[in-house]
Amino acid sequence: MTAVVVMLRNPFCPERGREVLPVAAGTTIRAWLDAHGIEEFERPTICLRNGEPVLRADWPVLQTCASDVLIFVSLPQGGGGGGGGGKNPLRTVLMIAVMVAAPAIGGAIAGAIGITSTIGTSLITAAVGLAGATLVNVLVPPPKPPAPSFGGSFGSTPAPSPTYALQSQGNQARLGQPIPVIYGRHMVYPDLAATPWTEYADNEQYLHQLHCIGQGEYDLEQVRIEDTPISSFEEVTYEIVVPGAPVTLFEADVTTAAEVAGQELKGTNELEAGDDGWIGPFAANPAGTASEEIGIDLVMPRGLYYANTSGGLDPRTIAWEVEARAIDDDGVALGGWAQLGSESVTDATNTPQRRSDRYSVASGRYEVRLRRTDAKDTDARAGHEIRWQGLKAFLAGEPVFGDVTLLAVRMRATDNLSQRSSRLVNCILTRRLPVWDPVTGWSSPQPTRSIAWAFADAARAHYGADLPDARIDLTALHGLDGLWQGRDDRFDAIFDQGVTVWEALTRIARVGRAVPFLQGGILRLVRDEARTLPVALFGPRNIVKGSLKVQYLMPGEDTADAVTVEYFSARIWAPDEVTASLPDSAADQPAKVELFGCTDEAQALREGLYMAAANRYRRRMVSFRTELEGLIPTYGDLIAIAHDMPRWGQGGEVVAWDPATGTLELSEPLEWADGETHYIALRRRDGTVSGPWHVLPSADDRHVVVAEGLDFTPYTGASEERTHFAFGVGEAWSLRARVISIRPRGEQVEITAVGEDARVHEADLAA
């Protein structure tokens, strides 16, 4: 993670006047200020490092680490903080400043105030103020709107989504916007992949639209115009073009000259002196392109006739000629005019006549002109008018669209199809992705709604992180996929706006109640689920003295008592919501979250109940320092913490072990509770936990008898650390906690964890 500096000029309006700047790890605070020309601040300013105030005397020596967040906060003036009854602005700023850095650095430091230290940072990361209510979950933070990254334009507003923004739904040419990446099953209004063009055939107008559905391959369940299946429109034909295949329904690369817009070709009897009657020339194709065919669209808007005195229609004839000449990219002629065609048409009808003609040319850039070659019958009883409606160039070569699926649609203009409805083509489809197996490896792409394989695709694809398989924990993904399939947890979503890869991975994982993290250069995923076996035991013997800190996030008037989950319903293909509350909750103050990628009400309800339970039951934060054994657990692991200060069991070392009698001699005297069942847990040499084992009192308070045989031999020698123990009544032999932060501190490691509660994982069972 990149270290950052946040310059906060107004702590009461942190969004205004804020600057977020990167800082290289190892740089001292004073050196960074000097490099930016800051000798002294104009107003009294304090510095917070990861939420902790830093004395000015330490600025020249304190070096930043890779994950540090430095906040410079300008103090407001006044307030009467001189020891009287006035308010202290410094205290106010210290309470407010910790919530300002999140929108710029991706890890949230917002939502709760007045909390500092590593525990405070973790709490702030997990607390999100939503719709006036605060929702807390430190292990899998609640969904929140994506924050801009350092690489983008800070604070810029992305273009509206053609799928999720209802007012923007429709087929659009979203120039400069990302090609959509679709996962799972979804409805999509595909973007235009080329400029639509029209052509006349048999006096009917046909519209040709080429759409880009998205990256990769898809199974199309249905193609529709608005809500009606396209099969209901006899006048519509379509073609699905898989990645790498050519478009065969019509020409895919066609340009239209905007200058040609219904100009009338004058008859020879209408021309003034010196007027040769030519309309144009107009460039048929843009600079840098080559055309092999020219298309001309002509319309006779009144038909072609003469109304005789007997009430019938006599025929009339119109004649015209088409010429073209080659030009260079600057529009300079490369030769003389060449006739492409000399045409005429005779008819006796008052129905408007429309026709399109095509002319083959040598590959190049051309300009085209037209003129009428006959006299116009100007009698009011005659229909004898012709207009140049369109000029098209069919470009040479086959366009390369890349690894995307296309939808080509040819529509005949009828009463069923309006101009608006022609831009409401949409599809219901399912993404095809490769699926990994530990034995057979990757499969060919197949339809899937799996969270795991969407996550893997975002990590592996060229439009994602582009990681090799060796840097992705595929074994863990395979295991999680089985769990998610059993729960009917799916990821159905469209990424059609620019987001960072990490934001995309986080959104995908969040639907599965998981979070991504990097460990040793490997992309891993951890799901918040019930765990019973701690991976490590920490007690008085391996917790640095004085480093244990416990903090409770007490509920307040802004604390949510329910969760309203907004999801994109597959039933109506529109946003919907469901409110989840625990059985004894009044649900008077729900927090509102948007669960991107969820299209099922049952799944949304399950996640809402989980978030509500985590918000209620996970409010005890613990941090401590230990030695390098603190690197044994990883993010999300369950650990056991035994310590006498908060009365989480009792801890010490095993002094002696008698396997014959099953007796353990301990370094500390034990306290027994009458009538209760007591247990002891032991730490193995590799840091893992053995037990807990049912124990009985022995000769004195330093001896216990293990009711059943141990699964290893405790070490009681002097060449290494002796076996540690944790002892207590029932499950109270330790506090079970989930790791949320591991920070190396020289030869020590600082661990932050949240107290575990089984009720978090039981809340959604009734959903």
Handedness of CA 459, 462, 465, 471 (dihedral sign): positive
pLDDT digits (tens, 9 = 90+) for 564-602: 999 999 999 999 999 999 998 888 888 889 999 999 999
pLDDT digits (tens, 9 = 90+) for 383-427: 999 999 999 999 998 888 999 999 999 998 876 666 777 888 999
Q: Is the model's pLDDT at 728 over the cut of 60?
A: yes
Query: Higher pLDDT residue, 464 or 73?
Result: 464
Helix/strand/coil for 476? helix
Return the amino acid letter for 98: V
Helix/strand/coil for 493? strand
**pLDDT at residue 569, as a whole number:** 94
If you average pLDDT over residues 691-713, what whole number do you get? 89
pLDDT digits (tens, 9 = 90+) for 471-529: 999 999 999 999 999 999 999 999 988 888 999 999 999 999 999 988 888 999 999 99
Q: Is the model's pLDDT at 28 over the cut of 90?
A: no
**pLDDT at residue 11, as a whole number:** 60
CB 170 within 8 A of CB 162: yes
Q: Which of 91, 168, 107, 115 is nearest to 141 (CA)?
A: 107
User: Strand pairing partners for 209?
Assistant: 409
CB 742 within 8 A of CB 631: yes
**pLDDT at residue 144, as a whole number:** 63
Q: Is the model's pLDDT at 538 over the cut of 60?
A: yes
If you average pLDDT over residues 235-264, what whole number do you get? 93
> For the residues of 168-205, what is the DSSP string, one character each?
G-S----TTSPPPEEESEEEE-PEESS--EEEEETTEE
Q: Please tell me the number of Cα atoms within 13 Å of 702 on its side-chain side.
A: 10
Q: Is the model's pLDDT at 111 over the cut of 50?
A: no
Q: Name the region of 242 (left: φ>0; alpha: ψ -120 to 50; beta: rest).
A: beta
Query: Higher pLDDT residue, 555 or 640?
Result: 640
Q: Is the model's pLDDT at 103 over the cut of 50?
A: no
pLDDT digits (tens, 9 = 90+) for 257-309: 999 999 999 999 999 988 999 999 999 999 999 999 999 999 999 999 999 98
CB 221 within 8 A of CB 376: no
Backbone angles phi and psi of 234, in degrees to 5? -65, -25
Q: Exposure string (b/e) for 605-636, b if CB count within 10 Å is 16 or more? A: bbbbbbbbbbbbbbbbbbbbbbeebbebbebb
Write down the mean pLDDT value for the chain. Answer: 85
Rounded-to-integer distance, Cα 623 and Cα 70, Å: 21
Place 173 in a pLDDT band, splitting at 50, 70 and 90: confident
Q: Is the model's pLDDT at 724 over the cut of 80?
A: yes
Q: At 624, which helix (H) or strand (E)?
A: strand 620-626
If you count them, how many residues does the chain have?
A: 767
Least confident of 49-58, 442-451, 597-606: 49-58
pTM, whole model, 2 decimals? 0.77
For residue 292 the two structure tokens come to 């092999």
Q: Please tell me the number of Cα atoms within 13 Å of 375 on its side-chain side.
A: 4
**pLDDT at residue 438, as a whole number:** 94
Q: Is the model's pLDDT at 434 over the cut of 70?
A: yes
Place 192 in a pLDDT band, splitting at 50, 70 and 90: very high
Residues 6 or more apart whose Cβ sits within 8 Å of residue 465: 458, 459, 501, 505, 523
Least confident of 57-61, 114-118, 259-263, 399-403: 114-118
Q: Is the model's pLDDT at 89 over the cut of 80?
A: no
Handedness of CA 375, 376, 378, 384 (dihedral sign): positive
**pLDDT at residue 334, as a whole number:** 95
Least confident of 392-396, 410-414, 433-437, 753-757: 410-414
Domains and CATH numbers, the chain: 4-105 (3.10.20.30), 182-250+400-429 (no CATH), 256-395 (2.60.120), 434-527 (3.55.50), 622-762 (no CATH)
Q: Is the model's pLDDT at 443 over the cut of 70?
A: yes
Q: Is the model's pLDDT at 153 over the cut of 70?
A: no
CA distances from 151 to 35, 390, 396 (A): 21, 44, 38
**pLDDT at residue 100, as a whole number:** 35
Query: Higher pLDDT residue, 75 or 310?
Result: 310
**pLDDT at residue 340, as a whole number:** 96
If you average pLDDT over residues 535-549, what whole number do you get? 90
Q: Is the model's pLDDT at 205 over the cut of 80?
A: yes
If you average pLDDT over residues 706-728, what whole number do you get? 89
**pLDDT at residue 507, as a whole number:** 93
> For the residues of 113-132, what is the DSSP string, one character each?
-S--HHHHHHHHHHEEEETT
